[in-house]
Structure 1
Amino acid sequence: MPSDVEVFALREEERRLKQEAKEKLKNANIYDKNVVQRKNFKALLAEDPDDIEFYEQLRKRDADKILINRQTPADRHFKKENLHDFIAKKREMFLVQYALGVKREEMRKLEEIAQAEEQKLLDDEKALEEDAAKFDAFLKENDKNSVEAIKRAENETKAKLEKIQEIKKLNVQIMSIRSEMSKNEDQLKDLQRYRVFLDKLTPREALEEGRRR
């Protein structure tokens, strides 16, 4: 019966030989592999589940190489043209989406400004009403200052009208941006339908290659 040291040495040697065989098979070309040797190596790998998974990964890699080599120049040219068209449409869609994002952000800022101005107008109206009440009381108490009080009220009314005009201008800008966004969204929908059409025409391998890029 071998000693523990001998058993350990045998296991280490077996592990080293299996690792060397893995590296040789990994670096070998599929056309240079011998079928009998590959079957013997697979039997060797059957002792270890991790080795079986490693062998299957190599076999899949070699199968992919065969599939690529079998493609005709015409197939590759067709896929290349569709891929270029696909990339161009993707780029165009990105630009349209980016423009929509910019317009949405611009509209959001304008809406915030309009809301702030409306709130300010409400506050001014409330203050104006309070001032009007104070003004009435002031007139009753002191008629000699009525001219200045009237002038102040006129100025406040003028400021209120200016705020109203400013809000109207902001609303016009918002409507213009919404109209432009609607046009861009229609264009984006057309591009998305065209992309679906291209996806149906383009082979799956070309689509996967385009996504990896």
Structure 2
Amino acid sequence: MTAQESFRAMLRDSIGPVLRDAGFTGTAPTWCLRSGRGDFAVVNLARSRWNTADEVRFDVNLALVPQPWWQFSTRFLLDKAPKTPRFHDGLFDKQSHPERRYAGWQHPVLGREGWVVRDAASADVCVEVLREELTTVVIPELVALQHRGTLIATLRAEAQDWGVAFWHGLPRKVAITLVMLDEGPGPELAEAINIVRSLPADRIKARDALLDLLIRTQTQTSTNTP
């Protein structure tokens, strides 16, 4: 069995079932978990573009797609929106590196080499480590972040590793405000409006539509507040 075949078998027979048992939907290489409020958490296993038949290196990518951002994206950013988001649709993202949980970044199995499949045996090693990583770290964190209050607190915290997805070009304060659009008025929304107003039109895709959304949210919310 080639490295490519071993990688595909790993996703189909081992990783997919773990995620589906936790409530995720989708097929390899991307699975989504949707909350009652419409927020998505995404797990994506992305192969390197430099792979060969003898070696598959891959990353475990995680993304958060809050419902207000997904609604905005499907209307203004995506020409043909899929039914569920892909990793690149995430507003916040990070990669899962289990070696970071070990002193000196030295995982006892993976080491600094990261996720690599060369044959069935190395695929079994990745499955063993990744299954543990998913069940003990990744899935519990993503499930916790399905609660909007936990999500907002995590994104506001200084010591955390969820970053704003760079391809959207959004300043962090604006991105966090987008998560909070249905949380009521406040100084953060006004600050986000001023930030977006100050940015060049080519800095953010659909900047004017985003600015209009923020202003309408502020006005409507303020009007409805006793």
The TM-score normalised by the length of structure 1 is 0.21
| Larger strand fraction of residues | 2
Query: Which has the larger Rg?
Result: 1
| Larger helix fraction of residues | 1
Give the number of the structure with larger relative contact order, counting CA–CA contacts within 8 Å between residues 6 or more apart.
Answer: 1
